[in-house]
Chains A and B, each alone.
Chain A
Amino acid sequence: MFYREAGQYKTSYAADMAVFPLREDRIGLAVIILAAYALAFTRNDFLLQAVMIPFLIFSLAAIGLNLLTGYAGLLSLGTGGFMGVGAYACYKLMTAFPEVNVLVWILLSGFFSAAVGVLFGLPSLRIKGFYLAVATLAAQFFLQWAFNRIPWLYNYNLSGAIEAPLRTLFGVPIIGPTATAEVRYLVVLTLVIGLTWVASNLVHGRIGREWMAIRDMDIAAELMGIKLFQTKLLAFAVSSYYCGVAGAMLVFLWYGGAEYTVFDINQSFFILFMVIIGGLGSLIGSFFGAALIFIMPIGLGIALPALLGPFGINVGAEVIEQLRFMIVGALIIFFLIVEPHGLARLWQIAKQKLRVWPFPY
């Protein structure tokens, strides 16, 4: 009805190949971005601090992993470690050169994580599938050990934790104890939108197509003249860059301080859930996945007591936590059975239905 391509003529090749070919899509995207910025002015600290900031950061990490696993077809379980490299690199740079703006360091710290990613991505030239996943576990456990055992990384702190010092942009504190949730939210939102735009351009261009060719059949891709060596390592580099930036943002723009335990194996699995539930090889799927995996447990934590209360079942926080685990597990299986291609596919189907509505097809 209101979502139709009727009357929208494409007169150039570029218009035909556009990422958002429909006017409605472009308007919708603009509305969503505006609404996201408007959220900052609601002054709802719980919403911003506990939901939106981590949701956006996890989406970015999920995009990073999706570039590697969804687009290039290389399964990685080292995401947590690569995120940690970004966070620790950012911390070292920030404390060593306090005069440079922290946003520069957050964006640059990703390159350190990219370098580490390339190093641990080298085995991907020989092995693939689950074997590669286990190889990346080596990165995960080694990096986590390094964050704990190399005191130079956390400036010989007695606590062994890295903490966000006070840093400002145009005189407004953006990280550190006095930075407000609104400011941090705006910074996170802007960075995530910018990096998502870059990722979208990457996957729609030559590089993205090369990744997808390798994912679909690497031998055929090689025969067509795609250099496996460079392309696979580039996938590791770009993916780790995104994860590294997400890791730096996680510590400095959300937690405010963290220990090495933040970047443990569970973090890696957590991001992998988001990617698979959201949809492999889909950027918007990364956002859906992050929303489902991150926000659903929070929602359940609020909804469960309210649901059980009227029946006279008053359960402790522990039981709620355990029920949450069970429900999340069951829902993961449920979503996989209903739509193995992830939420992104559901979204596509919904859009298609809307286009032909009221006809079934």
Chain B
Amino acid sequence: MATEYVKYVDVTKCDGCRACMVACKNWNDLPAEPQDFLGTMQSHANVTADTWNVLTFVEHENSKGNLDYLFRHSSCFHCTDAACEKVCPENAISYTDKGMVVVDQDTCVGCGYCVQNCPFDVIQLKNYKDENGKEYRKAHKCTMCTDRLDEGLQPACVTTCHTGAMEFGEKDDIIRKAEKRVNEIKERYPNAMVYNPQGVGGTHTIYVLAEKPSVYGLPENPKVPTSAVLWKDYAQPIGKAMVGGVAMALAGAFVANKFFDKKNGGHEEDGGGNRE
């Protein structure tokens, strides 16, 4: 793998303007999803197939009894060890050379295993209709603007962030930066931490959180389900090896057969069959 890059989100610098949400829609040409008022400032309850990132607003009473209004840019974490990639039966989900997790829309069959297994609930299905009126589904999520990264640009959400709450850079630099920032804000936010969960091998969106992950509705220690590991790392390769073995045997038999036929006709002229 080439150099790993990560998106850095410092929630303590976020002012909740939601430009990242709009920038994402603007770059990826995603349609608007009008919602009813949810009773808070939050526009959408969760990430959807057409809204790849959502700014969450949490009203939290801190240890001093004061109100903390916590904002968080929520989108795909691009896990190093991604559950969605593990469970995908069609191998439609893969890692890019920079470490991002992407869905190949042509291969996806819309089975929804990734949706069920994502520890962060950030991949969703979208319904489509083909020209015969037959319904089908595809999984969609944040791509970390992989097309922009390939052209040397940064993700759309990062480029638009006016408070500098989001940055994009090399993984090691960003982790150092995040740890430094946590030390700076410890006085104001005693529970501040870097969120880069190791249960999924670390992520490619690294957060500086002002509170414990559970306050933001994040799992404290997300894991790839054991069944997914068994499926991808053991069951699938063995199954594939068997299919491959059969295919090779068939191909081999076909080729060998051709030679046998030829041998029957032309063995005498060729001559010197078993000289060695």
| Chain A partners chain B | no
**Partner-A contacts on B (CB < 8 A):** none
